[in-house]
Amino acid sequence: MLRHWKRVVAIAAALIIAGGAYVYWSYQGRLVQVGDVQIDPNASIDPSRSYTLVVWEREVPLPWETGAHTEAVNEAISEFQKVWPNIHVELRIFGWEDGHGDLREALSDGNPPDVYGMPLGTRLIDAHWQIPVTPYMSAEAAQDTLESALRAVSADGVAWGWPRWILPQVWIAREDLTESLGGSRVAWNADEFLEILAESKTKSGSQGIMLNPYDGNLFFEVMVASTGRNVLDETGRRAWSVEEMTQALTLFDTIIDRGLTLNDAARMSRTRLATFWNRQASIVAPVNAWLLRHLMTRGGVVGDEGGLSDEVQHTSVAVPPPTVGTTQHYPALVGGYAVFRKEPYQGDDHTKAAMLLAEHLSRRLGPWEAANLFAVPAHFTSWEMWRTDSGLPEKEIELLTQWSSKAIAPPLADGHASRQQRIIDHVLGEAFVKLWSGVEPLQIAEEIAQAIDGVRAEVAHP
C-alpha cells in the first residue's frame, strides 16, 4: 500500500514538474525579442495605471477642407480614450510628405513615438526598436485584412505594421474621346495601349498621351506593372534586367515615333494638364495623389467633398499603367502604423496599449482616408462604409478593389525603400527623358542599370 502511494506521489510530482515546464516554455516561446528587451504580447493593460502614448501622424492635405484630417485623427483618438480612459494620447502632426528624419533622430536618442503613421509606404525602420505586429494580431484580424496589404507590411511571415489602406498608382484617361477608353479597363498590354492611343488621336484629333518625362515614377510604374518587381529585390540588388527595361523604353520610343505624344518634353511637362482639359490629350501620366483627386473631381467622378458629382457626364477615368510583359501587376502604396519601444522600456502593458491604439487608428482612419485618396481600406469590414463615403461610381469601386488585390508595394526595409526612392528621383527621370533627345532605348537601359548598381555599391562601400 505504501509503495502504491509512493508511486502516486511520484507521478503527481512528475505531472506538476511537466506542467510547470510546459507553462514556462509556453511563456518563453511567446516572448518577442526587440533589441535587448523581451516582450510578452499577452500582457494585459492595468486599469489602475495611467498610460501616456505618443502618436506621430501626417496630415492629409485636403484642398476643400483644411484641417479635416487632423480633426478626424483627434476624433479617432477620443473614441479610443472613451474605451480606455486611463490612456492619454499625445498627438504630433507632420506634413504629408515629410520624411523619417525626425524619427531617426528620436531613435538615436531612444525616444521614438509609441505609434508612428506611415502614409507613403509602411517601413521596417529598425528592428532594434520597432515591434513586430504579428504576435498582437488575432486570427480574426488577419482574416479581415486584404492579403496584399498584409504582404506589403510583412517580411518572412512577420508583419511590422498595421495596414490602413492601399493606394494604386493609376493614370487618368478621358473616356469621352473614344469608346475604347470608356468602361472598366482592368489591364492592357503595349499593343492595346498603342492601338487605343492611335484610335483616340484619329477620332478626336488629340495629341495622344501627355507625360512628364522628368518624373521617374512614369518609367517606374510601367516597369512594376510589367514585371511585378520593384527596382530592388529583398536583398537590395537590382531586380530589373537590361532587356526588360529596354522593352519598356521601346514602348515609349514607339509612342514618340508615331506622334502619339509631344516631341518637346519640357513643353509637354508644363502644359499637360491644360492639354488634357482642352480635349487635346487622351491620357495624362504619371499622377500623384493630389493630381488624381483634382482630375477625378474636375472630371465629374466625385464632388469637391467626396460625394458623387452633380455632373451628368464623367470625362475622367482611372486606368492602370500599361504592361510590356505577359501579365499585369499594379504598383501601389500601402499606408500603415508602426509601433516602437522606448529606452528605458515602458513595460509590456504599455506596449499592449500602443498596439491597441495603432490597430484602432488603422481601422478607424483607414476607410476615411481611403475615401479621400482614391484608395481601398485594408480591412474588408470597412468596405461598406468606404463605398458609401467615397461617393465613387461602382465602376471605379470595382476597378480599385481589383487593382488593390494584386498590389505591388515598395520594399518594406527602410534602407531598400529609401534607396529605391533615390533611384526613382535621380536616376530614372534623368535617364528616361533622354528618349526625347533621340537616345536609343538599349543605351538608356544600360545607363540605368549601371547607375542602379552604382548606388548599391556606393551604399555598401561608403
Instruction: Give the separation between CA 80 and CA 87, rounded to whole angstroms.
Output: 9
Domain residue ranges of the chain, discontinuous segments joined by +: 51-167+332-408
Those residues whose C-beta lies under 8 Å from the C-beta of residue 409, and which sit 6 or more positions away, are 121, 122, 148, 151, 152, 166, 332, 333, 334
Q: Which residue has cell 505531472?
A: 15
Which long-range CB contacts under 8 A does 95-103 form with residues at least 24 apart?
95/58, 95/59, 96/58, 96/59, 96/60, 96/61, 96/120, 98/58, 100/125, 100/414, 102/56, 103/56
Single out the residue of 210, 144, 152, 149 nearest to residue 177, CA to CA.
210
Classify 41 as helix, strand or coil: coil
Q: What is the pLDDT of residue 296?
A: 73
DSSP string, 70-97: HHHHHHHHHHHHHH-TTEEEEEEEE-TT
Instruction: Give the separation between CA 121 and CA 153, rounded to whole angstroms.
Output: 9
Which phi and psi (to 5°) does residue 358 adopt? -60, -40
Instruction: Give the separation between CA 80 and CA 103, rounded to whole angstroms.
Output: 24
Instruction: Give the separation between CA 84 and CA 260, rounded to whole angstroms.
Output: 59
- Tell how strand 158-159 and strand 154-155 pair up: antiparallel
DSSP string, 293-353: HHHHHHTTSS-TTSSPPS-SS--EEEEPPPBSSSS--EEEEEEEEEEB--SS---HHHHHH
pLDDT averaged over 10-residue windows placed end to end, the chain, 462 residues: 61 55 52 95 95 95 78 97 97 90 95 96 96 97 97 96 96 84 80 92 86 97 97 94 98 96 95 89 88 72 49 70 92 97 96 98 96 92 91 85 94 94 94 97 98 73 36
What does the block give as the cell for 168?
Answer: 494604386
Instruction: Give the separation between CA 162 and CA 150, rounded to whole angstroms.
Output: 8
Which phi and psi (to 5°) does residue 294 adopt? -60, -45
Given phi > 0 = left and psi -120 to 50 = alpha, else beta, which region is 228? Answer: left
Q: What is the pLDDT of residue 54?
A: 98
How far lies 331's CA from each of 184, 196, 351, in Å? 18, 22, 33
Q: Are 301 and 314 in contact (CB under 8 A)?
A: yes
Query: For the whole model, what pTM was predicted?
Result: 0.89
Helices 383-390 and 394-405: crossing angle, nearest 10°?
130
Instruction: Give the separation between CA 119 and CA 370, rounded to whole angstroms.
Output: 11
Q: What is the pLDDT of residue 363?
A: 97
Q: Are 274 and 263 in contact (CB under 8 A)?
A: no
CATH topology of domain 51-167+332-408: D-Maltodextrin-Binding Protein; domain 2 (3.40.190)
